[in-house]
């Protein structure tokens, strides 16, 4: 496991215990069995939905994208704000947004 993934367990300690799983060259970040984030190239992206996406965009944060053949695929995960790494209250706030977005997707299935 990468040092960054280990560090995220500390970052989200006040939110609750997270788990990580290797996937596609990165990691998935899970809370209560639901994926709330992904790590690619040691960068954390948090789950968004139509309601929360604007909060990320307003902060100038970019979505996770990957190249699939001849097209770029944008996923509903946005780069996490830098302040979460220094402020436990911010980490809890943004983790809750990601968890609520992930719950909304799960309930639609």
User: How many domains is the chain built from?
Assistant: 1
Sheet hosting strand 34-40, strand order edge to edge: 18-23, 26-31, 34-40, 43-47, 71-79, 63-68
Average pLDDT value for residue range 73-95: 96
**N-to-C CA span, the chain:** 31
pLDDT class for 79, splitting at 50, 70, 90? very high
pLDDT of residue 108: 55
pLDDT at residue 107 in the model: 55
Q: Which residues are 37's β-sheet partners? A: 29, 46
Q: How many residues does the chain have?
A: 109
User: Is residue 31 pLDDT above 90, yes or no?
Assistant: yes
Sign of the four-CA dihedral 104, 40, 61, 91: positive
**Where residue 65 falls among pLDDT bands split at 50, 70, 90?**
very high
Proportion of the chain above pLDDT 90, given as a percent: 77
Q: What is the per-residue pLDDT for 85?
A: 97
User: What is the domain extent for residue 8?
Assistant: 3-108
Q: Which CATH number is 16's domain given?
A: 3.30.1460.30
């Amino acid at each position: 496991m990468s040092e960054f993934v280990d560090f995220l367990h500390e970052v989200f300690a006040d939110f609750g215990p997270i788990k990580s799983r290797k996937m596609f060259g990165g990691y998935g970040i899970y809370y209560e069995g639901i994926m709330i984030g992904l790590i690619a190239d040691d960068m954390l992206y948090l789950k968004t939905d139509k309601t929360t996406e604007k909060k990320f965009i307003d902060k100038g944060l970019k979505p996770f994208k990957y190249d699939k053949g001849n097209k770029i695929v944008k996923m509903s995960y946005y780069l996490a704000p830098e302040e979460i790494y220094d402020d436990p209250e911010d980490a809890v706030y943004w983790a809750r947004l990601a968890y609520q977005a992930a719950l909304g997707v799960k309930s639609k299935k």
